[in-house]
């Protein structure tokens, strides 16, 4: 993963080569050794990059069938490039019957027909490279679709050569001789994680939908198949993988029942199985080490204490993982919960403390599985939507770790005004409704929680302009309704408005790209218990930046601690007139949802 050939985009390259690097600390151009480390970190292109996630179904439809597709994405590459991002992560684009919108793969080497053809994929990859960006694919290999050829074979007979590609077990009989699943493991999409298959009378394991049987990583043939399919895409020139629930691939072969206290959060038992490290090291040795790529694992069920064992660069497993503490702060198992700013700050502080220079972090507040950040962590009311979306952008681009931006967040897109169960598409919501309502949870309580926490909030189509269906499709029926606020929140008007959320994202991304201290600099929270203000410094040598964020709808004062000064304002989310008086008597007067970054 050589650094020099890795710079993606002109500004990154100048960062790598130019005096802006550790030269900032010395005031001189960096010495040769400085180009490989900064503040103790090994420099890597993916540490210095900003990633933009695309959920293809909802990004841009090019043929009027109401479903986003690859040609649609290619037609929007200039828009993405102008934001200044360096990497695109594409959610699954593979052939799939869509039980879970592509996270159930039928053929790992084929493009989903609804999304286009392999030629369309090649054109997309070429367009990404031409714009000096990189493309990272989703690797979904904890499970496949039940329509995958392997599973079609596997379920046929106990002695089928593909039987051991999946996890099959006989059931247990209760006292009355009734057939029960092998253990009490539950699926994340409701009910048992085991499904009885009539063909052979055995159960197969599925942590997610019944149509997503878990693959058996104990089988070396299966592992080889996975490594080969990874090479297939890497040889096309893709730049790495986001790995879906990768910590789940190794199962405890004792298949013990979950205890009552483990049942509410089975992810902590399913993750970090006994052979996980062995598999990841093998994958790294056999595949990843041969390419200049980045990997980011979805670390659902992984504690912060366990994280270095996956991402410490000396272990040669993964480059980074997604830790869920921040993004899930406002929910527990789909139930909305109030959160406080000190809780959020404590998460980032702890991440900073527990990950040393050998382990790199990710920074994100959303993805296709979570609600819109401006609705969860900001304030999506008319008064504060724009300011709070910009404040969140400021935080994402100034914390330590690679920032991930989910499509539409750069416009300040909001949650959807769901009314009834029929408004939801997500299999997780539909299954939970069947299991819980009305016996266990009243319908109105269920719907109120889901409207705040559901994954569908992130999946409504991109809002490109003020025309019908927000310019997402020329057809009359997008696969999921467009948020009715598309007339006021859309890319067309934001790209012409220099004060838009979109252009603010661009400025924040550009600032990070040219400021090594915001990438590698030390992080220090200046006032952890402050309930309204998140204020921190990022320091690299003599270069130091002060970030002050007012996470509230009320004005707030922030008294500058001893030795901290607010020097030159390099980024701010309010027009100067509103921001005044900026400083009075050693204190900053912050307007509601105001964000400022100062060079000290
Ligand atoms: C995590 C993915 O992000 C989510 O969308 C999916 O439903 C599950 N893994 C199962 O693949
Ligand atoms: Ca389409």
Residues with CB under 5 A from ligand 2 (ion): 61, 63, 65, 67, 69
For ligand 1, say whether the CB of 243 is within 6 Å of any of its atoms: no
Nearest-angstrom CA–CA distance, 184 and 188: 13
3-state secondary structure of 244: coil
Pair of tokens at residue 296: 């980011």
Distance 202 CA to ligand 1 centre (A): 25
pLDDT for the residue numbered 576: 63
Share of the chain above pLDDT 70, in %: 92
pLDDT of 15 over the 80 cut: no
How far CA 209 is from CA of 188, 214, 267, 414, in Å, comes to 8, 10, 15, 28
CB 549 within 8 A of CB 535: yes
Burial class (CB in 10 A: 0-12, 13-18, 19+), 356: exposed
pLDDT of 382 over the 70 cut: yes
Nearest to 211 by CA among 431, 373, 52, 385: 431
CA angle 39, 45, 51 (to 5 degrees): 110
CB 11 within 8 A of CB 81: no
Q: Which residues contact 426 (CB under 8 A, 6 or more apart)?
A: 454, 455, 456, 459
For ligand 1, say whether the CB of 270 is within 6 Å of any of its atoms: no
- pLDDT band per the 50, 70, 90 thresholds, residue 503: very high
Dihedral (CA of 72, 78, 79, 81) sign = positive
Question: 136 phi and psi, to 5 degrees?
Answer: -115, 135
Nearest-angstrom CA–CA distance, 11 and 394: 19
Distance 247 CA to ligand 1 centre (A): 13
Ligand 1 atom at minimal distance to the Cα of residue 91: 3
Residue 471 DSSP symbol = G
Burial class (CB in 10 A: 0-12, 13-18, 19+), 77: middle
For ligand 1, say whether the CB of 426 is within 6 Å of any of its atoms: no
pLDDT of 8 over the 90 cut: no
Nearest-angstrom CA–CA distance, 389 and 326: 16
pLDDT of 489 over the 60 cut: yes
β-strand pairing of 94-95 with 168-169: unpaired
Q: Which residues contact 202 (CB under 8 A, 6 or more apart)?
A: 158, 168, 169, 170, 171, 196
When pLDDT is averaged across residues 112-135 and rounded to a whole number, the result is 99
Question: Which strand (E) or helix (H) includes residue 387?
Answer: helix 385-398
The catalytic site residues sit at 244, 298
pLDDT of 271 over the 60 cut: yes
Distance 157 CA to ligand 1 centre (A): 29
pLDDT in tens, 436-464: 999 999 999 999 999 999 999 999 999 99
pLDDT of 211 over the 90 cut: yes
Nearest to 472 by CA among 172, 39, 29, 62: 62
Q: Residue with the nearest Cα to atom 1 of ligand 1?
A: 244
pLDDT in tens, 163-184: 999 999 999 999 999 999 999 9
Least confident segment among 16-30, 242-256, 281-295: 16-30
pLDDT in tens, 388-438: 999 999 999 999 999 999 999 999 999 999 999 999 999 999 999 999 999
- Pocket probe for ligand 1: among 244, 297, 322, the residue whose CB has the most ligand atoms within 8 Å is 244
Nearest-angstrom CA–CA distance, 356 and 282: 24
- pLDDT band per the 50, 70, 90 thresholds, residue 30: very low
pLDDT for the residue numbered 35: 66
**Ligand in closest contact with the CA of 369:** 1
- Pocket probe for ligand 1: among 206, 208, 430, 458, the residue whose CB has the most ligand atoms within 8 Å is 208
Distance 103 CA to ligand 1 centre (A): 6
Q: For residue 51, is it left (φ>0), alpha (ψ between -120 and 50) or beta?
A: beta
DSSP H stretches of helix in 18-99: 23-26, 70-75, 77-83
Q: Residue with the nearest Cα to atom 8 of ligand 1?
A: 103
CB 196 within 8 A of CB 204: no
pLDDT in tens, 551-573: 999 999 999 999 999 999 999 99
């Amino acid at each position: 993963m050589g650094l020099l050939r890795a710079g993606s985009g002109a500004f990154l390259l100048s960062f790598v080569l130019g005096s802006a690097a550790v030269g900032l600390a010395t005031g001189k151009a960096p010495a040769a050794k400085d180009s490989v480390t900064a503040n103790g970190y090994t420099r890597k292109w993916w540490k210095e990059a900003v990633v933009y996630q695309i959920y293809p179904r909802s990004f841009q439809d090019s043929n009027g069938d109401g479903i986003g597709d690859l040609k649609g994405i290619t037609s929007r590459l200039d828009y993405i490039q102008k934001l200044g991002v360096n990497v695109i992560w594409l959610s699954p684009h593979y052939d799939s019957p869509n039980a879970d919108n592509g996270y159930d793969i039928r053929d790992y080497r084929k493009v989903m027909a609804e999304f286009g053809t392999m030629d369309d994929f090649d054109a997309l990859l070429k367009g990404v490279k031409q714009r000096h960006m990189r493309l990272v694919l989703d690797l979904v290999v904890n499970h496949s679709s039940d329509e995958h050829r392997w599973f079609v074979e596997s379920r046929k007979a106990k002695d089928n050569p593909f039987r051991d590609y999946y996890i099959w077990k006989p059931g247990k009989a209760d006292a009355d001789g009734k057939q029960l699943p092998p253990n009490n493991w539950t699926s994340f999409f409701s009910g048992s994680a085991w499904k009885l298959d009539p063909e052979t009378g055995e159960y197969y394991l599925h942590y997610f939908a019944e149509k997503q049987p878990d693959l058996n990583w104990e089988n070396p043939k299966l592992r080889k198949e996975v490594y080969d399919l990874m090479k297939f895409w890497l040889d096309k020139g893709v730049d790495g993988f986001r790995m879906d629930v990768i910590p789940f691939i190794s199962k405890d072969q004792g298949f013990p029942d979950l205890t009552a206290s483990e049942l509410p959060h089975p992810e902590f038992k399913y993750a970090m199985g006994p052979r996980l490290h062995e598999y990841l090291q093998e994958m790294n040795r056999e595949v990843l080490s041969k390419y200049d790529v980045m990997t980011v694992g979805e670390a659902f069920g992984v504690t912060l204490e366990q994280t270095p064992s996956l991402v410490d660069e000396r272990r040669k497993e993964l480059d980074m993982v997604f830790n869920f503490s921040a993004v899930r702060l406002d929910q527990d198992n789909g139930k909305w919960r109030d959160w406080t700013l000190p809780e959020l700050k404590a998460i980032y502080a702890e991440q900073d403390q527990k990950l040393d220079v050998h382990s790199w972090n990710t920074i994100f507040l959303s993805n296709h599985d979570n609600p819109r950040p401006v609705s969860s962590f900001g304030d999506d009311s008319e008064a504060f939507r724009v300011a709070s979306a910009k404040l969140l952008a400021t935080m994402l681009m100034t914390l330590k770790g690679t920032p991930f931006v989910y499509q539409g967040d750069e416009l300040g897109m909001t949650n959807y005004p769901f009314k009834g169960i029929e408004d939801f598409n997500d299999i997780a919501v539909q299954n939970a409704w069947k299991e819980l309502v009305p016996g266990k949870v009243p319908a109105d309580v269920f719907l109120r929680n889901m409207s705040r926490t559901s994954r569908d909030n992130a999946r409504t189509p991109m809002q490109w302009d003020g025309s019908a269906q927000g310019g997402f499709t020329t057809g009359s029926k997008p696969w999921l309704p467009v948020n009715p606020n598309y007339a006021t929140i859309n890319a067309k008007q934001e790209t012409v408005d220099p004060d838009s959320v979109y252009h603010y994202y661009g400025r924040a991304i550009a600032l990070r790209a040219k400021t090594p201290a915001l990438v590698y600099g030390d992080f220090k929270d200046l006032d952890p218990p402050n309930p309204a203000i998140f204020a921190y410094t990022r320091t690299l040598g003599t270069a130091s930046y002060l970030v002050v964020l007012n996470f509230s709808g009320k004005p707030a004062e922030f008294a500058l601690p001893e030795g901290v000064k607010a020097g030159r304002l390099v980024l701010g989310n309010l027009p100067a007139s509103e921001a005044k008086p900026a400083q009075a008597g050693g204190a900053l007067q912050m307007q509601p949802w105001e964000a400022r970054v100062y060079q000290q």
